[in-house]
Structure 1
Amino acid sequence: MPQQLDPLPDDWERALAVVAHPDDLEYGCAAAVAAWTDAGREVTYLMVTRGEAGIDTLDPARAARVREREQRDSAAVVGVTAVEFLDHPDGVVEYGTALRRDIAAAIRRHRPELLITLNPEDTWGGTYWNTPDHRAVGRAVLDAAGDAGNRWIFPDTEAKPWNGVRWVAVAGSDAPTHAVDVTGTLERGVQSLTRHRAYIEALTGEDPETYARNLLEGFARETAERFADRLAVPFRLYPR
């Protein structure tokens, strides 16, 4: 029997999801976001880039507009109305104090108890090399959780320090520890990813909804084997 996953804690009210690109959350955890917003929790999205380098057939300026629109549409499907962009350059995001400061400032503004980000490790499943943007942003989120609460680090941000982050949940981890039941919200996760139509059509010749459904239902069924046969989204949870 594979090691079973624990339910993600649900005694929180506000979450901030910080990822590198439009679509990162839809590939990982939008169905979980739908479950949270259905329960009355507040979730805000923060994109470090606009994904302008992600569609080979579109020049960056046009791609940025398309991907921002698709991200806002996809967020709305799962009950998220607040979507922000930091405008770091897509494909060349640099880990460092500038990125940590921007994320810490957002944490201080939104005052989340839960932070969500994407796999910061070198690989996906030990097989596929992760992108530099994912690695940089994921690591910066983990570090900024502490930065945000320290009044001597980045003291010039507009909002006051916030030391209320209780967990950082990493989606797409090779070593998940917890999961969220998405039995009732998986369909909205599929529809949320489908909203990234321009991106998916440039990525594959498959119908976007078929592509999204096969991918996300497959992930959820795989996680169910470690979560009492319930369709679920896995996370690696770092308590603070």
Structure 2
Amino acid sequence: PDQNLEDCREFRMALCRQIRKHRPDLVVTIDPGSNRYIRHRDHYNTGRVTLDAVFPYARDYLSFPELMEEGLEPFNVREVWLFRPQEPDVFVDITETFVTKVDALYCHASQMGSPREEREAWLRERSAETGEHIGGGLAEGFKRIVIER
């Protein structure tokens, strides 16, 4: 149910398990420090727990020894990109994939109370504003964090 994600050991271990299993160079998550999400506990907790899972838990052999028993060795994620930060420093052109983005958003049916046309127009406007950072088109902004080894 909505607003029930907790910052707990089980959540951190579940994310750490996926990181160690799939070994991504890049992890994208919600910016837990952004006041756009600070009031929604699921968003805030997801961002915080994901950052914890990336560093130090996924790379630390002392964290979750039971994952080592599953054959999941520690792994160093190279970068994290925070979605919708206060001050983005990476911009990705989504002009060609915008409709796919909206389609994916509408798979989260319980959260889509407004008609699709209204929400799509609002998203297009926001993406166009962000697109000004790359000279036009539609874009998403992220805060890039490079994790030192």
**Fold match (TM-score > 0.5):** yes
Change (3 A) 1:199 1:143: closer
How many residue pairs get aligned? The number is: 144
Aligned pairs (5 A) from 1:141-180:
141-146=50-55, 147-157=57-67, 158-180=70-92
Q: Does 1:224 align with 2:134?
A: no
4+ runs deviating over 3 angstroms: 194-199
Cα shift at 1:191:
2.4
* Deviation per residue, 1:5-57 (Å, 9 max, x gap): xxxxxxxxxxxxxxxxxxxxxxxxxxxxxxxxxxxxxxxxxxxxxxx33xxxx
* Deviation per residue, 1:208-235 (Å, 9 max, x gap): 2x03311221121010122222321111
**Aligned residue type for 2:62:** W
Aligned pairs (5 A) from 1:1-240:
52-53=1-2, 91-121=3-33, 123-124=35-36, 129-146=38-55, 147-157=57-67, 158-200=70-112, 203-204=113-114, 207-208=115-116, 210-240=117-147
Alignment RMSD (CA, Å): 2.0
Structure holding more helix per residue: 2
Give me the whole-angstrom Cα distance separating, in 2, the residues matched to 1:191 and 1:92.
25
- Give identity over the alignment, percent: 28
Give me the whole-angstrom Cα distance separating, in 1, the residues matched to 2:61 and 2:38.
36
Give me the whole-angstrom Cα distance separating, in 1, the residues matched to 2:44 and 2:20.
22
Give me the whole-angstrom Cα distance separating, in 1, the residues matched to 2:11 and 2:110.
28
Alignment TM-score, normalising by the size of structure 1:
0.55
Identify unmatched segments of 5+ residues in structure 2.
none
Alignment TM-score, normalising by the size of structure 2:
0.84
Contact 1:194 1:212 in 2 (8 A): no
* Deviation per residue, 1:52-74 (Å, 9 max, x gap): 33xxxxxxxxxxxxxxxxxxxxx
